[in-house]
Amino acid sequence: IYAAELVRRELANGGAQNCLVILNTIQEALDLLSLIATAPWAAGYRHFHLSTNLRPKDRRRILEEIGASPNGAILVATQVVEAGLDFSFDVVLRALGPLDSIVQAAGRCNRHGAGARGRVRILNLSGNSGTTVYGNVHMDVATSLYREISGRAVPEPEVQRLVFRYFQELKCRISQD
């Protein structure tokens, strides 16, 4: 419910017309899409889901629909959308995961530099899906960095430093493990 409410707030504030939510598991994405699809506030938006549980031809059809009318769309997806798609969303919400995945997700936010500056938010959801998908080491390092930046805007130069620290810490941790 927290994620659905955050989508509502992000779309209501600042004139955002579309939103991408990337979650760590297919089930999380389907559950959130179900909540959004039944929410009265979301009636004016088209709702989409993308993940590897869809056939490639169905993914292509959905991508074509989103591309034809990106405004008024809410896409709830898994990591399948993090690379190789040339879509731009006003708001991107990404479940906590490895920092390189978060940076990839951010690449879908105001991708073409049109209009107002886009917003990227990290969702620290309950449960252990990030660890299940990415493993303990990646998630421990990401969680540690998330705690440092939680609740504040992070300027791009700081993102570069965080990415560097993330990979340095991973290198140390993986060599020890």
Say which DSSP state 109 is in: B
Provide the pLDDT for residue 13. 81
User: How confident is the prediction along the chain (177 residues), in pLDDT tens digits per residue?
Assistant: 688 999 999 888 867 889 999 999 999 999 999 999 999 999 999 999 999 999 999 999 998 998 887 688 999 999 999 888 888 888 999 999 999 999 999 888 887 767 667 889 999 888 878 998 999 999 999 999 999 888 888 888 888 999 999 999 999 988 775
What pLDDT is attached to residue 152?
A: 87
Confidence at residue 115, expressed as pLDDT on a 0 to 100 scale: 67
Q: If you search the block for the tokens 């791009």, which residue do you land on?
A: 156
Provide the pLDDT for residue 40. 95
pLDDT of residue 163: 92
Q: How many helices (H) and strands (E) does the chain have?
A: 7, 5
Can you give the pLDDT at residue 19? 92
- The pLDDT of residue 177: 59
Residue among 119, 152, 153, 146 at smallest CA distance from 130: 146
